[in-house]
């Protein structure tokens, strides 16, 4: 069973002659197949929490434990090289903006993710399996017919779906999702949330999702509010 545990995490930034507290002794637990939604005003620390959990920032103190059936690792204690390796193997990141590579087709976006940190001169059998998996993931997010299109040929909702499929390419144990509906209208935003719910359950990934859109919170496993770096449960899994 996969479990993410954030234990007493504190993060500060330089601020003139002092320090600004971005995360103040934050605690939360998310199991595999669950989504913890995080809400709160801009500048409250939500993005800092996502970056810390995703190993992009190392906290001042505390632990970020990711447990899978194969191993347990403290993400907060990794070196830069170790963190990069874990991001490739165990963490899927869905950014607020898809940040797709303009020259690559949808299927190539996913294939490129699979080859990160590896030689592009892989065996033909490996390339075929990678291509097949990329096509299957695109089909799973409703883009089977758009696999050969480049980002400029896709709608905003379709680009975000490629973004989600790309994050799943390496079968991550942990998904970190930042404002997935911010650039979408209500209908497309609802479709993307439904898609995230489906893929999280299917892939059993422990998931953190930052959102300003409160209309979907009732679908989440648990809900937290971030205020001035302090994370407070609004609704826990037990109360759901």
Quick check: 159 and 98 in contact, CB under 8 A? yes
Q: What is the pLDDT of residue 140?
A: 85
Which pLDDT band holds residue 239 (cuts at 50, 70, 90)?
very low
Per DSSP, which regions of the chain are E strands?
Answer: 3-15, 18-31, 35-39, 61-67, 72-74, 91-94, 174-178, 206-210, 222-227, 230-235
Give the domain range for residue 47: 3-239
| Statement: the pTM of the whole predicted model exceeds 0.85 | yes
Q: Report pLDDT digits (tens) over 74-130.
A: 999 999 999 999 998 899 999 888 889 999 999 999 998 876 655 545 567 778 899
Q: What is the pLDDT of residue 97?
A: 82
Express the helix, strand and coil content of the chain in percent, nearest 5 each: 40, 30, 35
Whichever domain contains 139, its CATH number is 3.40.50.300
Which pLDDT band holds residue 238 (cuts at 50, 70, 90)?
very low
Higher pLDDT, 8 or 165: 8
Q: Report pLDDT digits (tens) over 24-47.
A: 999 999 999 999 999 999 999 999
DSSP annotation of 212 reads S
Per cent of the chain over pLDDT 70 is 94
Give the number of domains in the chain.
Answer: 1
The set of residues, in sequence order, having a beta carbon less than 8 Å from that of 134 and lying 6+ positions away, is: 107, 110, 111, 114, 147, 165, 169
CA quadruple 110, 111, 117, 120: dihedral, nearest 10 = -160
Average pLDDT of the residues in 184-213:
88
Structural Rg of the chain based on CA atoms: 18
Q: What is the pLDDT of residue 149?
A: 97
Question: Given a cut of 90, is residue 135 above it in pLDDT?
Answer: yes
209 SS3 class: strand
Question: Given a cut of 80, is residue 9 above it in pLDDT?
Answer: yes
Average pLDDT of the residues in 67-73:
93
Alpha-helix residue ranges (DSSP H) falling in 172-224: 186-203
| Edge-to-edge strand ranges of the sheet holding 35-39 | 91-94, 174-178, 206-210, 35-39, 222-227, 230-235
């Amino acid at each position: 069973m996969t479990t993410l545990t954030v234990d007493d995490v504190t993060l500060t930034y330089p601020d003139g002659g002092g320090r600004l507290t971005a995360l103040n002794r934050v605690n939360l637990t998310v199991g595999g197949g669950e989504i913890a939604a995080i809400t709160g005003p801009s500048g409250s620390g939500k993005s800092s929490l996502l970056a810390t959990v995703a190993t992009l920032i190392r906290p001042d103190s505390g632990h970020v434990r990711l447990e899978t059936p194969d191993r347990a690792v403290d993400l907060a204690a990794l070196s830069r090289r170790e963190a990069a390796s874990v991001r490739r193997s165990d963490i899927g990141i869905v950014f607020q903006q898809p940040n797709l590579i303009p020259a690559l087709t949808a299927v190539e976006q996913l294939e490129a993710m699979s080859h990160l940190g590896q030689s592009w001169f892989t065996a033909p059998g490996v390339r075929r399996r990678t291509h097949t998996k990329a096509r299957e993931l695109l089909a799973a997010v409703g883009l089977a017919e758009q696999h050969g299109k480049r980002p400029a040929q896709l709608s905003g909702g379709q680009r975000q779906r490629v973004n989600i499929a790309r994050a799943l390419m390496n079968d991550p144990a942990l998904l970190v999702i930042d404002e997935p509906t911010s650039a979408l209208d209500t209908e497309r935003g609802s479709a993307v949330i439904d898609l995230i719910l489906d893929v999280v359950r299917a892939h059993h990934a422990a998931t953190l999702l930052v959102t300003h859109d409160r209309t979907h919170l009732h679908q989440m496993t648990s809900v937290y509010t971030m205020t001035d770096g302090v994370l407070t449960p609004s609704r826990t899994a037990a109360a759901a």
